[in-house]
Chains A and B, each alone.
Chain A
């Protein structure tokens, strides 16, 4: 019963300006990655896939991709294992803990990666826990900076399904807490877990500051290799950018489609 809407002309202008700003650098990089040469012409001179070939035969780059993917995946799994039970317990049984989690989720915003790294380097370069420079510290640091997404997503899911009532319903039906958690709570918050997991994956894959400051050349990830390639061969570097971007784009598209399908299912009840 609302006024029929048409996208106003001014909105089109705004979209044009913003999308031009946002998409030209991406399209430019994509063109550069398949250009034979592009330094003294309006459009690339000749197209080739040689840079992608070069990228995938660059052992350092390939290793960097694997390392980045492994670090990101491990971060996601670690967060799932640690955060899920904690948030569920906090929401259902420990209201005081909920406040702690809220604060812990704000801290990373006030505490950007540079500051976190400055603290971590000083703490963990020496015994009893000399893990600076290892992938371990990277995974744990990523865990902390991605914590807000995970805590937020799981908390929202629990709120949406009214976890408290569900848990009580289960217990009144004779289920133990563990059974209820496994069979009722987990399946219901799964969409939240997947979406925050994909987000964490994307953030970890694109993270540079912590990787550079905490491990740097000792454990090169995509971003570190990219900085080196930038100065050495721009075309191969842009091929790496496109490969990375494709990885992340697939993750976020999966997120978008998955979220829509989920909300459709819930609404279609």
Chain B
């Protein structure tokens, strides 16, 4: 009996080792490094730098606004997309869902490059502006925050749609019929039942999109060759750049970022639970 019961533990051991070496230890290392100086002395200096340094403050501000706008716009489009998918019929629904899921893989560097081709200085949109006697650069800079936001929104949409789909599926047809039967117009149903029921799911989706954008690095890095001043790019340059290798400072920034992500994910969890309380079968 005793020998038999050893097998399950053996089966989980390799995975536990992987988790220890590549999930737990890196986390501990980052936390440890964040509160120590390169000399090895304990210090909160790194956090002070992150919160008070002008460049870091700007990076945080850029990251925050980029994340916020891409989350809001991405959420709006995702909600509409998920609604449209939930209301469309068989074939249409299948084709659109397949196309959207295909675009999930079009992210990071390839996506950035595609936007440069279209909206860059020699792209077709710039040409159109030129033809209209104007200059795209006067209106829009792909390599600045607004351009980056456009790319961010792109990769938020498919994710957001697939996160919102179950919520729309949980919105039962009979609720709409019951409301109609009780004399409500369509907008009254959405105002008093539909949107309130969807709200937790929307907030949960928003928090995932927020974390998704906040942690993104590839797009901004590829777009500006590492020059864009946002949190993730700045952090990565501090450990992989040959010029300024400052892992402790990078770790402090990483801790700040991770805390923001944790807050976003906790919000997500709480709200998801609330939503499932709404839609579970109350029998």
For the complex, give the distance between the alpha carbons of A100 and B236 in Å: 29
Known: A42-B127, A106-B265. A82 touches B7 (CB 8 A): no
Give chain B nearest CB distance to A104 CB in angstroms: 5
Chain B residues within 8 Å of chain A by Cβ, number: 87
B33 (CB) vs chain A CBs: closest residue: A122
Partner of A111 from B23, B117, B157, B216 at Cβ < 8 Å: B23
Most buried by A among B89, B102, B154, B232: B102
Say yes or no: B11 contacts A114, CB within 8 Å: no
Report chain A residues within 8 Å CB of B232. Answer: 112, 114
Residues of A115-143 whose CB lies within 8 A of B: 115-123, 129, 140-141, 143
- 9 closest A-B pairs by CB: A119-B26, A112-B215, A11-B84, A25-B114, A89-B11, A86-B15, A85-B11, A89-B8, A93-B8
For the complex, give the distance between the alpha carbons of A22 and B232 in Å: 25
Say yes or no: A11 contacts B88, CB within 8 Å: yes
Say yes or no: A213 contacts B14, CB within 8 Å: no
Report chain A residues within 8 Å CB of B11. Answer: 85-86, 88-89
B32 (CB) vs chain A CBs: closest residue: A122
Say yes or no: B105 contacts A104, CB within 8 Å: no
Partner of A18 from B16, B98, B100 at Cβ < 8 Å: B100
Interface residues as binary, B182-220 with A (CB distance below 8 Å gives 1, 0 otherwise):
000000000000000000000000001001001111100
For the complex, give the distance between the alpha carbons of A244 and B105 in Å: 10
Report chain A residues within 8 Å CB of B105. Answer: 202, 206, 245, 248-249, 252
For the complex, give the distance between the alpha carbons of A166 and B1 in Å: 21
Residues of B111-140 whose CB lies within 8 A of A: 111, 113-118, 122, 124, 127-128
Say yes or no: A28 contacts B18, CB within 8 Å: no
Other A-B pairs, 17, CB within 8 Å; known A115-B257, A144-B18: A7-B87, A7-B88, A17-B77, A18-B100, A21-B77, A22-B157, A32-B117, A94-B9, A109-B265, A112-B217, A115-B26, A208-B218, A208-B221, A209-B221, A238-B114, A241-B114, A245-B106
Report chain A residues within 8 Å CB of B161. Answer: 18
Report chain A residues within 8 Å CB of B33. Answer: 122
